[in-house]
Amino acid sequence: MALGEATMDTRIFITGHRGLVGSALWRHFSAQGHRQLIGQSSSELDLRDAVATAEFFHRTRPQIVICAAARVGGIAANAESPADFISDNLRIQVNVLDSAVSTGVDKVLFLGSSCIYPKFAPQPLREDSLMTGALEPTNCAYAVAKIAGLTQVTAIRHQYRLPYISAMPSNVYGPNDNFDPHTSHVVPAMIRRFHDAVVRGADTVTCWGTGQARREFLFADDLADACAFLVANYDDDSPINVGTGTDVTVAELACTVASVVGFRGDIRWDCGRPDGTPVKRLDVSRLQALGWTTRTDLAQGIKDTYEWFVAHQDSYRGRSVHAEGPSS
């Protein structure tokens, strides 16, 4: 079943529906009028538990599943807990995909990550560059788990002839992100750091690395729109990139965040900290050829994200790592 064939009563299970991407998906489908959305928080359903996951699928019988649950974190979290990242993500993926097959789910969209591409793959990153070179060491364990998920989706297509698909988003940010200063990804980490500096009246902010690494950033609500588009319009063995097709240096990102937050001091760089992959920009020509393009520019997306952060400071998700959204 493609989403275009679904009705407003089609049962759609969004794993990780309280996370960054999952909550954006929930907003998107709710706004479209879908009445049978299914979601469970990690405290209600531990997707690492094979028995509990299978029982949930048999009880709820989803018809479409979008896999937005994962254990995620930034460079520091990946470096400190690589065993947890590979173990948790492998179990989540296997349990969800096995349960989907066993209960006859019509269509599954599995979300990978742009970090699974080889560290020095040609830019922009094409889908056929997957598994052609060494991974970035700082997130190798997470990347290997995600590659296993893509491989499982392809294996299911071949063995069971089911229209399950995979997509690789670029760095995702937006409302309901993780703003913990030690474990978050670069956009929420910067928002938190510059905001705290403004509150303290600090004259300087120090950011990790040299600032010269280049990254592509995708607003979560745009990714949700792309996911719905792909469920309705895509059916292919190959994973497909989802992004803006443009990038900025991390230093340029810092200047944009500082401007949005209202920080007017000096930005310094801790060059002893890792930059990660030097350049990471996706080739999104295949997705654009299907008819989808992003809508939100970086400055507007950061403004919307910052406004959400300010409004939710007392309750934002600042935990160290979680099982509620894909890495970005």
Would you give the DSSP letter of residue 129? Answer: G
Please name which of 218, 242, 246 lies closest in space to residue 231, comparing C-alpha atoms: 242
Tell me whether residue 160 is one of the annotated catalytic residues.
Answer: no
User: Residue 275, annotated ligand binder?
Assistant: yes
- By three-state DSSP, how is residue 165 classified? strand
User: Residue 303, annotated ligand binder?
Assistant: no
User: Residue 281, annotated ligand binder?
Assistant: no
- Residue with the two structure tokens 């939710």: 312
User: Residue 71, annotated ligand binder?
Assistant: no
Beta bridge partners of 37: 12
- By three-state DSSP, how is residue 95 classified? helix
Phi, psi dihedrals of residue 294, rounded to the nearest 5°: -70, 160
276, with CB counted inside 10 A (0-12, 13-18, 19+), is buried
User: Residue 185, annotated ligand binder?
Assistant: yes
The token pair that represents 311 in the structure block? 């409004």
User: Residue 169, annotated ligand binder?
Assistant: yes
User: Residue 21, annotated ligand binder?
Assistant: yes
User: Residue 200, annotated ligand binder?
Assistant: no
Spatial contact of 148 and 91, defined as CB atoms under 8 Å apart: no
User: Residue 20, annotated ligand binder?
Assistant: yes
Spatial contact of 202 and 240, defined as CB atoms under 8 Å apart: no
Would you give the DSSP letter of residue 122? Answer: P
User: Residue 119, annotated ligand binder?
Assistant: no
User: Residue 18, annotated ligand binder?
Assistant: yes
Spatial contact of 325 and 68, defined as CB atoms under 8 Å apart: yes
User: Residue 129, annotated ligand binder?
Assistant: no
Phi, psi dihedrals of residue 64, rounded to the nearest 5°: -130, 135
User: Residue 184, annotated ligand binder?
Assistant: no
User: Residue 112, annotated ligand binder?
Assistant: yes
Q: Which is catalytic among the residues 142, 173, 234, 316?
A: 142
User: Residue 74, annotated ligand binder?
Assistant: no
Please name which of 121, 138, 139 lies closest in space to residue 130, comparing C-alpha atoms: 121
Cα–Cα distances in angstroms (integers) from residue 224 to residues 230, 242, 293, in the given order: 10, 10, 12
User: Residue 42, annotated ligand binder?
Assistant: no
Bridge-based pairing state of the strands 171-173 and 248-249: unpaired
- Please identify every residue annotated as catalytic: 142
Residues contributing to the annotated binding site for NADP(+): 16-22, 111-114, 146, 169-172, 185
Residues contributing to the annotated binding site: 16-22, 111-114, 146, 169-172, 185, 193, 208, 215, 275
Residues contributing to the annotated binding site for substrate: 193, 208, 215, 275
